[in-house]
């Protein structure tokens, strides 16, 4: 994929994972300063099951509320939902931290997805080697999203080529791998490390910063624990942040309230975006 260089600097951040990356916040809960954006753009790949050839299609647009769960696109028109994820507060904070740069977000996330193919159930998996029925999985949808987004040499449509600067990978996932078996959970660090390395390679930037959102547990079931092996996933996420020179973890998730058994409330997603922005900025500038 070509990277074009000119005076028009565009910092690009990749957002990927499962439902808490997709976002279950309600747009009706948003403060005014998260409803309108200038010089912030988003390409969200269409969510699809493993094997679906329509996954990853999308189009660039100015960031607006509605890129949470329920968002759809056919590659020509974006259909916003009444939900949002961390992208809004992330963008606002990134604009504060990089006031001279335009910001672009590339997002692909799907509810319920695991990395390990054994835990995919009916949702899908990110395991790059998983071939399924026709060789297409969630990682393939991510790659297609990335490729289609970066084909555009003029993201902001101002008639000038953009200097595209891949600046960070943001990953929020792990719940599904922590809710299956202990054996699957214990493989999570290896699966995560392999997936991140491949994502970096797809951007031709081995030292691109990576921020992981640490999973948490609502405790909202009869056992008081949704993810049976969630602590193993948390340890793997901490290990990644500790051992990767350009890795970090967002830990504030442990304090969030939930709108249901699995998803943060609106305030949680707003805080999550801010924390991701601050961590990726720290990694970029350290």
Give residue-wise pLDDT tens across range 195-231: 999 999 999 999 999 999 999 999 988 888 999 999 9
Please report which helix (H) or strand (E) contains residue 195, including its range: helix 188-202
Closest to 46 (Cα-Cα) out of 67, 72, 66, 64: 72
Q: Which residues pair with 40 in a beta bridge?
A: 103
Distance of CA 63 to the CA centre of its chain: 15
Bridging pattern class, strands 78-79 and 72-73: antiparallel
User: Average pLDDT, stretch 12-31?
Assistant: 98
8 Å CB contact between 1 and 147: yes
**Which tops the pLDDT comparison, 6 or 269?**
269
Confidence tier at 96 by pLDDT (50, 70, 90): very high
Q: Is 50 exceeded by the pLDDT of residue 2?
A: no
8 Å CB contact between 76 and 14: no
**pLDDT of the residue at 132:** 77
**pLDDT of the residue at 3:** 46
Tokens in use for 122? 């009916």
User: Average pLDDT, stretch 121-150?
Assistant: 94
User: Average pLDDT, stretch 233-256?
Assistant: 97
**pLDDT of the residue at 223:** 82
User: Average pLDDT, stretch 175-196?
Assistant: 97
Q: Is 90 exceeded by the pLDDT of residue 7?
A: no
Q: Is 50 exceeded by the pLDDT of residue 4?
A: no
**pLDDT of the residue at 78:** 97
Q: Is 90 exceeded by the pLDDT of residue 274?
A: yes
User: Average pLDDT, stretch 124-144?
Assistant: 93
The Cα 179–Cα 226 span in angstroms is 7
User: Average pLDDT, stretch 168-184?
Assistant: 97
Percent of the chain at pLDDT exceeding 90: 90
**pLDDT of the residue at 1:** 46
**For residue range 251-265, what is the model confidence (pLDDT) as tens digits?**
999 999 999 999 999
User: Average pLDDT, stretch 231-243?
Assistant: 98
Residue ranges in 98-160 assigned as alpha helix (H): 138-151
């Amino acid at each position: 994929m070509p990277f074009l260089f000119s005076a028009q600097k565009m910092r690009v951040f990749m957002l990927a994972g499962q439902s808490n990356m997709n976002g279950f916040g309600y747009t009706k809960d948003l403060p005014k300063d998260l409803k309108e954006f200038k010089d912030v753009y988003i390409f969200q790949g269409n969510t699809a099951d493993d094997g679906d050839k329509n996954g990853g299609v999308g189009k660039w647009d100015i960031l607006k509320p509605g890129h949470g769960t329920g968002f759809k696109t056919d590659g020509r028109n974006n259909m916003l939902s009444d939900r949002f994820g961390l992208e809004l507060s992330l963008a606002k904070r990134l604009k504060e931290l990089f006031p001279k740069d335009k910001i672009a977000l590339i997002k692909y996330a799907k509810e319920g997805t695991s990395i390990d193919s054994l835990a995919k159930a009916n949702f899908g998996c990110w395991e790059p080697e998983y071939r399924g029925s026709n060789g297409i999985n969630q990682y393939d949808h991510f790659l297609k999203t990335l490729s289609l987004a970066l084909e555009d040499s003029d993201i902001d449509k101002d008639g000038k080529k953009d200097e595209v600067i891949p600046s960070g990978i943001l990953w929020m996932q792990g719940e599904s791998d922590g809710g299956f078996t202990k054996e699957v959970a214990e493989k999570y660090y290896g699966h995560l490390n392999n997936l991140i390395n491949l994502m970096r390679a797809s951007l031709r930037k081995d030292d691109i910063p990576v921020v992981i959102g640490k999973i948490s547990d609502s405790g909202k079931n009869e056992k008081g624990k949704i993810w049976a092996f969630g602590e193993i996933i948390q340890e793997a996420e901490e290990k990644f942040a500790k051992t990767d020179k350009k890795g970090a973890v967002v830990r504030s998730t442990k304090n969030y309230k939930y709108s249901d058994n699995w998803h943060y409330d609106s305030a949680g997603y707003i805080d999550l975006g801010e924390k991701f922005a601050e961590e990726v900025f720290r990694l970029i500038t350290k």
